[in-house]
A and B are shown apart, each in its own frame.
Chain A
Amino acid sequence: MNYLYFPGCTLYTKAKNFDQTARNCSLLLGFELVELPNWTCCGATFPLATDNLMALLPPARILARAKEQGEVLTTLCAICFNVIKRTNHLIQKDGEKREKINQFIEMNYQGDLKVLHYLEILKQEIGFSTIQERVKKPLNELQAAPYYGCMLLRPFEEMGFDDKERPTLFEEFLTALGARSIDFPYKIECCGSFQSVGTPEVATECAYRILTSAMRQGAEVIVSTCPLCTFNLDQKQSDILKAHLDFKTIPVLYFTQLLGVAMGLEPQTLGFEQNAVDPIPLLKRKGLV
């Protein structure tokens, strides 16, 4: 079974480990991620102004091309997923916009592609119970805090990913891997990454609150679905240390990296070198590498 796959720009650079681990794990789970040919940047923000049609064209093109190749498009980055899924929803629902967009991109796309996040593929198409069966190295009660961020969940009416106030999909996934999922109130709060450039101190403060909240609940590792979140939560920990002397660092991993560990992939293929806070001591302590 193969799935059309839109990697997105970050996954070719800063989040290569995200991309690689996802591709490798797929193969172990019996499916392949088929990269969409000629893909472009999704635009990285869904336009909030109602008349900003231009910003909708890149994701519309991606969707239209994908439709020529298949029926389902999957992606990993939460931001790409948000932009593409919402654009798809808009094209589906708004006939007037659909017509205009099609005129611009000179294609005919009706919004009838199914856009699924990789986690959704794992749950709906593969099944968490199947994954549980294929786990070679159960995560041994590793206390993992699932960080959803905001992009996967909101706006609920368009994303339809999971309950926007109390999602459980990520928790189910972690449990299937043999980890102990940690509930913490900040799991659906914004990481502040959009402020990383303009007002970095705001973003740092957001990250501090999220990380310490998770640690208070006993988390040993934060699990993320988004390169931007990961950047903010992981890379920024050095800045947090400067502002908060009592802060203790905590590894932040992509969910695919943890999946890789559980599926028994070799540690050197998991791209830990790209993680700012080294997870290897923790994984060693837990007997996972």
Chain B
Amino acid sequence: MGGENKIEMGTSENGFIKRAMVIGGGIAGITASIDIGNAGYEVLLIERLPSIGGHMLQLSETFPTLDCAQCTLTPKTVETGQHPRIRLHTYSEVVRVAGRAGNFSVQIRKKAAYVDWEKCTGCGLCQQKCPSRYPSEFDRRMGLGKAIYTLSPQAVPNKPVINPEHCRYFLEKKCRVCEKICPVGAIHYQQEDRLIEEKVGAIVVATGFDLMPVERFGEYGYGEIPDVIDGLSFERLNSASGPTNGEIRRPSDGRIPKEVVFIQCTGSRDPERYMPYCSRVCCMYTAKHARLYKHKVHDGQVYIFYMDIRSTGKGYEEFIQQTMEEGILYLRGRVSRIFREGEKIVVWGVDTLTGKKVEVLADLVVLATAIVPHQETKTLAQILGIHSDSYGFLTEAERKLKPVETNQEGIYLAGCAQGPKDIAETVAHANAAASKVQALFATH
């Protein structure tokens, strides 16, 4: 894993390279890579973070079955890591792409991990002993991470990187604890970014999504009220491997919230101020959040502010029905302001079905913020020469009949980079992208 063992490259007689590059190691990229790999072609999987899994690895349980996300995903990450035809380039970015279908030249930047992954055994001692703690991005800044870290104990590849912004050695030129403790001498503070060149015949772009930052919502306190969090943060609170070991405790004081307000369409469906589109997953994950919360805090009360309930997938409507039966209060209306008053968070909204103003004194507020393309998607689109729309989502060749193709032959799309999708749709979309790669290779 992470090694430089060259994979044999398939090439047809006319020089068409039958080897694919998948950009993005979330569930979309993993699915596409395994599909292409299983069909007998080599795959380079490029991931920006130190390990694969993407946002799905941050989720606790998934709708509508309430299956544990770790349980469904980790076998796939393990399979990817061990696949004989998939080569992982994690902690890497695509810098330059030239050429065309069948013969793309790609330059990849392998970021300095400051750890020699060839030597590292993934024993984890360095992480245990590292004295520098800071808010972990993976845990949405609710828990503390170390300066030398893996994203999770189950990371694939299970090799750490050092974040120089937090490492005492890089900041103050002292410490060196990890270097001293490492039994195999894998710490390498002088490591530098490396550029490598690769040749591929097709590219799948699966760069995924981000959430619109809570800081952008003035009416909801500009992200400055600690107990107003976003959906992914709530996932981490719910997750057994999260900062609270799966107990629902609010970030400000660690108390178990008894009144929780969920606000859907935060930043979505709001053409005047934010994003005009629907983020597609929030209705379902909010219902899921509400149920998971109720399962853990039996005497808690949940309020959900919604515009329309969108539960269009298989088994989704039934899931919502059940959610409502569990005593969760759905209020059709928007929230105009949230502010702190003492230990409570005051939520002002309206219930359009009664036409009345509603005021809820909540302990925790969860915003289902809009899904936006990952911030680097736009730059990548320019590197690849493919179109993106005004929000930054990558544009498919034709909405209906060519949903994974792009304006460039040999470059395909998978997952949320093309537009918001749930996991099932993402997997199908990624399968479809893989199918197109296979067809491209088969016809040359």
Contacts and interface: CB of A to CB of B under 8 A. Distances in A.
Direct contact of A and B (CB under 8 A): yes
B156 to A, nearest CB: 42
A166 B346 contact: no
Interface string A242-279: 00000000000000000000000000000000000000
15 contacts: A163-B218, A164-B218, A165-B218, A165-B219, A165-B222, A166-B218, A166-B222, A185-B337, A185-B339, A185-B340, A185-B341, A185-B346, A189-B337, A213-B341, A216-B341
Given A165-B218, A185-B341, A189-B337, 11 more contacts: A163-B218, A164-B218, A165-B219, A165-B222, A166-B222, A185-B337, A185-B339, A185-B340, A185-B346, A213-B341, A216-B341
Contacts of A189: 337
Looking at chain B's contact residues, the main secondary structure is: strand
A185 B346 CA distance: 9
Contacts of A185: 337, 339-341, 346
Interface string B320-337: 000000000000000001
B29 to A, nearest CB: 38
Nearest to B217: A165
Interface of A: 163-166, 185, 189, 213, 216
Contacts, number: 15
A67 B281 CA distance: 54
Contacts of B346: 185
A213 B359 CA distance: 15
A164 B218 CA distance: 8
A213 B348 CA distance: 15
Interface range on chain B (Cβ under 8 Å from partner): under 10
A182 to B, nearest CB: 13
Interface string B207-223: 00000000000110010
Contacts of A165: 218-219, 222
A255 B40 CA distance: 76
A164 B339 CA distance: 14
Nearest to B341: A185
A149 to B, nearest CB: 15
Interface string B112-136: 0000000000000000000000000
Nearest to A188: B337
A19 B340 CA distance: 35
Nearest to A186: B339
Contacts of B340: 185
Interface string B337-354: 101110000100000000
Nearest to B220: A165
Nearest to B272: A157
Contacts of A213: 341
Contacts of B219: 165
Contacts of B218: 163-166
By Cβ-Cβ distance, the 3 closest A-B pairs, closest first, are A165-B218, A185-B339, A165-B219
Contacts of A166: 218, 222
Contacts of B341: 185, 213, 216
A288 B346 CA distance: 36
A154 to B, nearest CB: 12
A165 to B, nearest CB: 3
A166 B208 CA distance: 32
Interface string B404-443: 0000000000000000000000000000000000000000
Interface in B335-384: 337, 339-341, 346
A189 B339 CA distance: 12
A10 to B, nearest CB: 29
A105 to B, nearest CB: 32
Contacts of A163: 218
A224 B337 CA distance: 22
A189 B346 CA distance: 14
Contacts of B222: 165-166
Nearest to A156: B218
A62 B222 CA distance: 38
A163 B219 CA distance: 11
B223 to A, nearest CB: 11
A267 to B, nearest CB: 35
A155 to B, nearest CB: 11
A166 B219 CA distance: 9
A166 B220 CA distance: 10
Contacts of A216: 341
B248 to A, nearest CB: 25
A192 to B, nearest CB: 13
A213 B340 CA distance: 11
A185 B341 CA distance: 8
Tell which of A164, A185, A189, A216 has the most Cβ of chain B within 10 Å. A185
B240 to A, nearest CB: 36
Contacts of B339: 185
A163 B217 CA distance: 12
Contacts of B337: 185, 189
A172 B219 CA distance: 21
A213 B346 CA distance: 12
